[in-house]
Amino acid sequence: MQHRPARLTDVALRAGVSPATASRVLNPSNRGVKDANRARVLAAAEELGYTTNIAAQAVARGRTTGVTLLLRVMPDDYANPIVAGVVDAVRNEGLPISLVVAGPQTKDIIDAVHIARGQRTQILMTTGGRRTDDKDLPALVDALQRYEAEGGRVVLISQEGLPFDTVTYANKQGAHDLAVSLVELGYRDFAILAGFANGMTQRDRTQGFLEGLGESGVSLSADRIVTGEFDRDAAYAATGDLLRRGIPIDAIFAVNDAMALGALTFLRDAGARGTGIGVAGFDDIKSLRDVTPALTTVHLPWDDVAAEALDLALSERVDGPRLRVVHGHVVIRESTPRRG
Amino acid sequence: MQHRPARLTDVALRAGVSPATASRVLNPSNRGVKDANRARVLAAAEELGYTTNIAAQAVARGRTTGVTLLLRVMPDDYANPIVAGVVDAVRNEGLPISLVVAGPQTKDIIDAVHIARGQRTQILMTTGGRRTDDKDLPALVDALQRYEAEGGRVVLISQEGLPFDTVTYANKQGAHDLAVSLVELGYRDFAILAGFANGMTQRDRTQGFLEGLGESGVSLSADRIVTGEFDRDAAYAATGDLLRRGIPIDAIFAVNDAMALGALTFLRDAGARGTGIGVAGFDDIKSLRDVTPALTTVHLPWDDVAAEALDLALSERVDGPRLRVVHGHVVIRESTPRRG
DNA sequence: CTGTTAGCGCGTTCAA
DNA sequence: TTGAACGCGCTAACAG
């Protein structure tokens, strides 16, 4: 039952040409073969069910085409739609893409980079937030630099400040604009679910929100900023703690939609909606469609992010690393009705 | 700046041994090297930042380790958590896994299978429903059989009836049990959002539900079964059409949660919840947590599905293809309160 | 336009 | 326990 795969040699033999010629027709890059021969090779390949051995091709060429998208964890329901956007964009370009779920630790990512090195893959994109206290960061940078030194291209998505081409979103500005909008709507007593303190994205969004508040003449005391490694469920609990403290609050800003959903659900469960506490998030993830009340948030144009990333990967890099910033915009929905 | 990757030869040279010896120590499979030499090779590899060229290894060995998970589309918010389950299970086993998003058409899948063949990958898992009217199915089966004939292992998830190892869920039984439960709760006038008519999963769930109804002494006329290629949004619209027809309905069964969410949202938007129409789905996807009222559904143990799939892939196959069926169970929630 | 030749980097006999 | 030699399947350089 075990059947040896057909090799290029087999095809050539059957077509009555040399392996080189067979290679030329099977390889779109190499033109210049008589139509008759071309046809015979194609026919032979078809009959034999030939598939080019990509591994061997990679060895001979020294490099494979295609992009590897490196993820820390499998994107769940609340993850940014960024992954889907990148996959579509790359596929539309006709390039093969494969996702690698490395693991939560930076060490896991580093391992995956080395594997990608070993595969002699062409483009490596990676996404996911960075933490300011990451001790393994230098090692990661080293691995990525090796990857590039050996001929690969690296594109980082969402993590600014590393010496590689990267595309980020304007976290600060988006949160700033959101704050201004909320104040305009009449909110004054804010609380912030700020996520874990060492996350760069979380930090920028918190900071931007505070700046927006400041410009609007609204202040916010430190005890209204709640930090912690929050996912949706933890945000649910944190909202409860917050209210129990008895501080007057008329609006909660969560630094991402997942956490905002947790807050929203808590308020609903607690029957506290009558108190009129507004909730706003950040990202505009798809799951928001099924939620009541509809969540006010900052919409991020994920497809643009993906397009920029791909453009960076495919265009020649002249000088140093390039940075592309994608801007979002505030979307006011029912979760923050006009107040007063 | 362009730097040639370190080769095995480089490591051997630096360690003062032959490439063969170096290969032996870097290859856990080959034992029997003096400790001193082993240490020198390891040190040299470290110093040179050596990464084994996986492509070359694949050529030499004739096959790579690792599993490829083939998907039609990028799993979105409503997709089965099956992908995440498989990824985790495989990673826990220490095997590299990569996801390939092939495209919606069966032809796309076939292409991807051939690419996997070309990569000489070891295990190929694929998921996603099958349609009864798929003209390209024979070609797909052919491609998969080739893959296996050449030494790979194929595991199908969710699509029963093809000559490969497969794991499915008990769609019929789950829907059957759900119907029985709903009748017990007092519902009598059902409608079914049956999805597209040629989907095998959809068909089984519809049929199982009808059988359960029958056993409970409840009948359902054909005009209450709505078919169509429904996603969440289309289900939303279809629910509207259904109600506009004026048929008395006290419960809607949608063959998956995504569609059930659409129905639920329509009822809520239409203010029709007062009419007491119950809604039930199938799958128990995560997004349900944020929905009000909580959705009654059939819970599927996704982790078990993944575990079974991996077990099939890693265990020796003795005779023909094996089939493993995973059972779900009904979960009654607020969307179907006791009636009468 | 085509065939010959020579590698690509690694695993694996087979002797030593 | 080790090394020399060969082969994996394919591409690329060079003649013709």
Distance between CA A101 and CA B86 in Å, rounded? Answer: 11
Tokens 């996404």 sit on residue: A127
- Is residue B77 very low, low, confident or very high in pLDDT (cuts 50, 70, 90)? low
Q: In what order do the strands lie in the sheet with A190-195?
A: A225-227, A190-195, A251-254, A278-280
Instruction: Return the CATH number of the domain spanning residue range A63-169+303-327.
Output: 3.40.50.2300
- Per the DSSP assignment, residues forming a β-bridge with B296 are B280
**Range in A111-115, A275-279, B109-113, B172-176 with the lowest mean pLDDT:** A275-279
Residue B290's pLDDT is 77
Per-residue model confidence as pLDDT tens digits over B279-335: 999 999 887 877 888 999 999 999 999 999 999 999 988 888 999 999 999 999 999
Per-residue model confidence as pLDDT tens digits over A263-297: 998 998 887 545 689 999 999 988 787 788 899 99
pLDDT beyond 90 at A333? yes
pLDDT beyond 90 at B11? yes
DSSP state of B283: B
Per-residue model confidence as pLDDT tens digits over A37-57: 999 999 999 999 999 999 999
Residue A8's pLDDT is 94
Q: Does domain B8-50 have CATH number 1.10.260.40?
A: yes
| Nearest DNA or RNA nucleotide to B59 (CA to C1') | D8
- Is residue B30 very low, low, confident or very high in pLDDT (cuts 50, 70, 90)? low
Residues above pLDDT 90, as percent of chain B: 71
Would you give the distance in Å from CA B20 to the centre of its chain?
42
CB contact under 8 A, B53 and A59: yes
Strand ranges for chain B from DSSP E:
67-71, 97-101, 123-127, 153-157, 165-169, 190-195, 225-227, 251-254, 278-280, 297-299, 323-326, 329-331
Per-residue model confidence as pLDDT tens digits over A177-208: 999 999 999 999 999 999 988 889 999 999 99
| C-beta atoms surrounding A295 within 10 Å | 27
Mean pLDDT of A100-108: 90
Mean pLDDT of B138-163: 93
Contacts of A99 in chain B (CB under 8 A): 98-101
- Least CB-CB distance to B2: which of A77, A114, A151? A151
Q: Which of B268, B258, B82 is nearest to A286 (CA)?
A: B258
Tell me: cis bond preceding A163? Omega within 30 of 0 counts: no
* Domains A8-50 and A171-300 in one fold: no
Residue A128's pLDDT is 79
Residue B223 is which amino acid?
D
Distance between CA B217 and CA B188 in Å, rounded? Answer: 10
Per-residue model confidence as pLDDT tens digits over A214-230: 999 999 999 999 999 88
Number of Cβ pairs closer than 8 Å across A and B? 133
| Residue ranges per structural domain of chain A | 8-50, 63-169+303-327, 171-300
Q: Regarding predicted confidence, which is higher, A78 or A205?
A: A205
- Is residue A7 very low, low, confident or very high in pLDDT (cuts 50, 70, 90)? very high
- Least CB-CB distance to B2: which of A54, A100, A149? A149
Q: In what order do the strands lie in the sheet with B225-227?
A: B225-227, B190-195, B251-254, B278-280
**Per-window interface: A 65-84 vs B, CB < 8 A:** 68, 74, 76-77, 83-84
Q: Tokens for A22?
A: 């067979």
CB contact under 8 A, B3 and A149: yes
Residue A130's pLDDT is 82
**Range in A147-161, A271-285, B216-230 with the lowest mean pLDDT:** A271-285
**Percentages helix, strand, coil for chain B, rounded to the nearest 5?**
45, 15, 40
Q: What is the mean pLDDT of chain A?
A: 91
pLDDT beyond 70 at B45? yes
Instruction: Return the CATH number of the domain spanning residue range A171-300.
Output: 3.40.50.2300
- Least CB-CB distance to B74: which of A84, A103, A290? A84
Distance between CA A235 and CA A221 in Å, rounded? Answer: 20
Q: What is the mean pLDDT of chain B?
A: 91
Residue nearest to nucleotide D6 (CA to C1'): B60
Q: Regarding predicted confidence, which is higher, B75 or A280?
A: A280
pLDDT beyond 80 at B171? yes
Residue A99's pLDDT is 92
- Is residue A307 very low, low, confident or very high in pLDDT (cuts 50, 70, 90)? very high
Element (H, E) at A331: strand A329-331
pLDDT beyond 90 at B76? no
Per-residue model confidence as pLDDT tens digits over A111-149: 999 999 998 999 999 987 788 889 999 999 999 999 999
Q: Tokens for A20?
A: 């080189």
Mean pLDDT of B126-153: 91
Per-residue model confidence as pLDDT tens digits over B260-288: 999 998 998 887 545 689 999 999 988 78
Distance between CA A128 and CA B339 in Å, rounded? Answer: 47
Q: Are B265 and A290 in contact (CB under 8 A)?
A: yes
The answer to whether residue A309 neighbours chain B at the CB level (below 8 Å) is: no
